[in-house]
Amino acid sequence: MFNKILIANRGEIACRIILTARKMGIKTVAVYSDADKDARHVELADEAVNIGPAPSRDSYLQAEKIIAACKQTGAQAVHPGYGFLSENAGFAKRVEEEGITFIGPKHYSIAAMGDKIESKKLAGAAGVNCIPGVNDAIESAEKAVEIARSIGYPVMIKASAGGGGKGLRVAFNDKEAFEGFTSCRNEAKSSFGDDRVFIEKFVEEPRHIEIQLMGDSHGNVVYLNERECSIQRRHQKVIEEAPSPFISEATRKAMGEQAVLLAQAVNYQSAGTVEFVVGKDQSFYFLEMNTRLQVEHPVTECITGLDLVELMIRVAAGEKLPLTQDQVKRDGWAIECRINAEDPFRNFLPSTGRLVRFQPPRQSMFAAETSQLLGVRVDTGVQDGGEIPMFYDSMIAKLIVHGSDRNDAIAKMREALNSFVIRGISSNIPFQAALLAHPKFVAGDFNTGFIAENYAQGFRAEDVPHDDAGFLVALAAYVNRRLLDRAAGISGQLPGHGVTVAEEFVVVGLGEGGQNIHESVLVRDFQAESGSSAIETGGKCYEICSRWHLGGARIRGTVNGQPFAAQVERGVGRNPLAVRIAHNGTQFDSLVLSPRAAQLHALMPHKAPPDMSRYVLSPMPGLLAEVSVQVGQKVLAGERVAVIEAMKMENVLFATADGVVGKVLAAKGESLSVDQPIVEFV
């Protein structure tokens, strides 16, 4: 067994690998870029080596620097995690040539599966179901149309070297096939330096289901059940679960056995995942093989009770797999939500900056501890006060729950999301809460088009209807009553002029989500010692009891005897008296006033926001990569004005109306904040 391993990665996966290595008594070496010098993975590791500037092309993608770090520290093996160099066959080969063990598959297995065209041919030869299509590179758009007709529409046009949703189009007719081929080819050339494109049948109502494999160097391969990854936004997974609520035992067995055949065909050693597209009739076809650990591996760990990182390390050290296929368990139901630094209410634009508060829900399961199950686990690479840099992907954390069945897992996940406090940047938690509450998701009735179909206009606050709006009103009144109790107890008040608290209040809703709310509320039987009170509103009574301390971002307690968790924020929206309640994905901003104050508030003039229509504003924090206009230039609506880079994404800003550029207010290379003006028109 190794004494020391180097983790050629960052963020949550680097932290995850370190925890398993620590459990196994193996020393760890972290590598970090200039942007990550204070990152959590650097703190957790036994040693850390700086490998260059912030952009990943200058640091985490520098194979020579990583090999040099291994030699400098005496690390005997490298774990690549996922992303970066994890599926780079050249890197794996180079590491092996230097006498360092690569904790992953052999370079020839990575190479065989890395090319989408060649891997399909290999899969077909190994007896794996493949989608009808042409797996050879297509030379022209006319030929693409001819092939598409012979397969039958709809078809999928894909770049051979594609990934992350780039170089991919679905065509339903000749025109779309012609245009889609050209677009895919151009995208693939600019993104991957490889313009080969192929075509295959597009499976309607498809589900994305993958089989987790583990192989050793003694010829043994087992499949560790499946994961359901159909909830995707723009080809990026959002929620993953294991097992799948859709496939039958027979389909599971057939998919697993075919995945094993493919792994054996390439002498696969380590963790790997075979991805399948599954039709509504349970027909399944090979998509691709990921020759690395997956982001969503924790859901498999929950239902099997295995530590996949430990198995990878043991297999790399030459050990045999410790279990056979008939010993693979499938207990309970696990769900993972990816918590990303993005604003769901602003079309999921990246959100970077400082984590003013980062308080995950209470954990009862931990990475690398497979004996503790049926609970909540958080895998993260950040901490309170940390920075979310603009140079890497947007994932802040992975929230994983394990329940006795699917409904139990959904209930646990909703409760955990309610308790997940993130301040300083926006996160997709409200969107995750909305997905978990959607009747079709709860019923298991979805496919890869679920988000595109149900949130076609983007995500808005009204897409998260609360199942009991009266509870939000009651909780706002309860929080206000706790604040008033403190005010009433402050010493040194003039006799006869102390604060006295009445029972009658009015909750006035603020912002888009609460403009029509003007609820009368009675707060009775307030007990400061126990934190209990009875709140009457809208003909209902809510008996709330909580030990919440003033200033806490999270409030836990019981309502009518049932446990709840919610979040509280005071002084929001530039109003120091406003109270924000967040629960089940709904955000409710309000003022809790006396009846007389509410009457006067209704007479207050409304201050209109300033007119910013003459400006092009930055929709997110990021780096201004390009300003495409200059002072005095006439610009037409739809013309390119600027390009902002953030989290590996390029965002082009266009003019919304005709105009003449009056001022350019930001320079190329400048770091921008949200709503910062870039260009002013006259």
d(CA 60, CA 45): 17
d(CA 463, CA 181): 35
d(CA 284, CA 287): 9
User: What contacts 144, CB < 8 A, 6 or more positions away?
Assistant: 138, 157, 177, 178, 180, 181, 197, 199
Q: How many residues does the chain have?
A: 682
d(CA 380, CA 354): 15
- The values of phi and psi at residue 409, to 5°, are -65, -40
Is residue 353 a contact partner of residue 387, using CB atoms and an 8 Å limit? yes
Nearest residue to 309 (alpha-carbon basis) of 583, 55, 2, 70: 2
Q: Is the peptide bond before 243 cis (omega within 30 degrees of 0)?
A: yes
Nearest residue to 200 (alpha-carbon basis) of 274, 287, 291, 289: 287
Is residue 594 a contact partner of residue 506, using CB atoms and an 8 Å limit? yes
Distances (CA, A) of 430 to 42, 374, 387, 417, 511: 30, 24, 21, 8, 16
Maximum alpha-carbon separation in the chain: 92
Q: Which two tokens stand for residue 584?
A: 């089940």
Name the residue type at position 372: Q
- DSSP run (H or E) holding 421: strand 421-423
Is residue 616 a contact partner of residue 678, using CB atoms and an 8 Å limit? yes
Is residue 291 a contact partner of residue 272, using CB atoms and an 8 Å limit? yes
CA within 13 Å, CB half, 155: 29
Q: Which two tokens stand for residue 116?
A: 């989408």
Nearest residue to 100 (alpha-carbon basis) of 62, 81, 74: 74
Annotated active-site residue in 288, 310, 336, 342: 288
288 included as an active-site residue: yes
Is residue 398 a contact partner of residue 338, using CB atoms and an 8 Å limit? yes
Strand 640-646 relative to strand 579-583, pairing: unpaired
Catalytic residues, by residue number, are 288
